[in-house]
Amino acid sequence: MSTALMTCQPAHERHGSAWSYVSPSRLGCWLRCPLAFKFRYIDGIRSPTTPSLFVGKMCHSGLEAFYRHRQLGIALDAEDVAKRMIDGWDETVTEEGMRFETESDEMKAKLKVVDLVAAYLAHVPEDEPRPLAVEATMEAPLIDPFTGEDLGISLLGIVDLVLDEQQGPVIADFKTTARGGTPAEITHEIQLSSYAYLFRQLDGRKEAGLEIRSLIKAKTPRIEFHHYDARSDTHFKRLFGVIREYLDALDSGRFNFRPGWGCSMCDHRDTHCRRWCG
Ligand code: SF4
């Protein structure tokens, strides 16, 4: 895979961080609630890192260490990976401004991370192919594949893993989740289509498929791999339809609230959102 990142010159005047690039997480946030997106990406109001997010971040760091070594032909075992995660724990706590309520909560989180990653390593086949890319920042200009129009902004995503499988490249994303079961494909569609677009732009090949690899935070951690087909023209038409609407919202500065199920988990519910009046 090319390591050079493709960037673009904005076609028209945009300024500020929200206009610097489009990403699957920004699109996902805006789709869930435009007002919550505004608080986060326009007003720069950061939500505190929760223990659950922190566990996910640490699991990602362990899997990144494991696969970066695999790229070099070095096999780390679960103990090696656990040591690396624990060694980097305090630094990440500081970087993220993470606050555990008690020492016991922090210890439980450490054990959870170690157990989840050990379960993952026990699950992957020993002959899993070497990765083509690990925790790779991919950036490419957004050019509508159907009209050739350059949207004047780039798409940026951080792809957890690309494996050189026999049938072709497979793009995988790690998720730490409370429950198992096959996730509805549509809930991950924007992310999967974005990663496929980036991979094709940078590598020149079509992906053979995509995977969500779930690390399930059950009492006894479980691992599930969910496979999805290569993206179709329909997926890319839908993705670009969403991106165009998103860019229109940025340009018009209209970010309405979208009350719904997500409000129960929103940090702005009783503060900024309550004061907002359109
Ligand atoms: S509380 Fe609900 S409507 Fe308000 S910003 Fe959060 S998600 Fe949006």
Asked whether residue 13 carries a pLDDT value surpassing 90, the answer given is: no
Instruction: Tell me if 263 is assigned to some domain.
Output: no
Instruction: Tell me if 276 is assigned to some domain.
Output: no
Mean pLDDT, the chain, whole residue set: 93
At 23-80, the pLDDT tens digits run 999 999 999 999 999 999 999 998 889 999 999 999 999 999 999 999 999 999 999 9
Instruction: Measure the CA angle with vertex 169, ends 175 and 130; round to 5°.
Output: 80
- Determine the atom of ligand 1 nearest the C-alpha atom of 273: 4
CATH number, domain at 144?
3.90.320.10
Q: Which domain holds residue 38?
A: 17-252
CA of 225 to the centre of ligand 1 (A): 32
Task: Label residue 8 by pLDDT band (50, 70, 90).
Answer: very low
Q: What pLDDT shows up at residue 17?
A: 83
Which residue's CA is minimally distant from atom 1 of ligand 1?
269
Instruction: Tell me if 182 is assigned to some domain.
Output: yes
- Determine the atom of ligand 1 nearest the C-alpha atom of 268: 6
CA of 34 to the centre of ligand 1 (A): 8
Cα distances from 278 to residues 28, 132, 250, 251, in angstroms, run 21, 47, 16, 17
Q: Is the CB of 29 under 6 A from ligand 1?
A: no
Q: Which residues contact 94 (CB under 8 A, 6 or more apart)?
A: none
Q: Considering just the CA atoms, what is the radius of gyration of the chain in Å? A: 20
Cα distances from 270 to residues 69, 256, 264, 267, in angstroms, run 45, 16, 10, 7
At 150-175, the pLDDT tens digits run 999 999 999 999 999 999 999 999 99
Instruction: Tell me if 266 is assigned to some domain.
Output: no
Task: Label residue 94 by pLDDT band (50, 70, 90).
Answer: very high
Q: What is the dihedral of CA 36, 40, 43, 48, to 10 degrees?
A: 110
Which residue's CA is minimally distant from atom 3 of ligand 1?
259
Q: What pLDDT shows up at residue 259?
A: 96
- Determine the atom of ligand 1 nearest the C-alpha atom of 267: 6
Instruction: Tell me if 270 is assigned to some domain.
Output: no
Instruction: Determine what percent of the chain is predicted with pLDDT higher than 90.
Output: 89
Instruction: Tell me if 33 is assigned to some domain.
Output: yes
Counting the structural domains of the chain, the total is 1
Q: Is the CB of 269 under 6 A from ligand 1?
A: yes
pTM of this structure: 0.92
The sheet carrying 209-216 orders its strands as 131-143, 150-165, 168-177, 209-216, 222-229
Q: What pLDDT shows up at residue 80?
A: 97
Instruction: Tell me if 161 is assigned to some domain.
Output: yes
- Determine the atom of ligand 1 nearest the C-alpha atom of 36: 5
Instruction: Tell me if 236 is assigned to some domain.
Output: yes
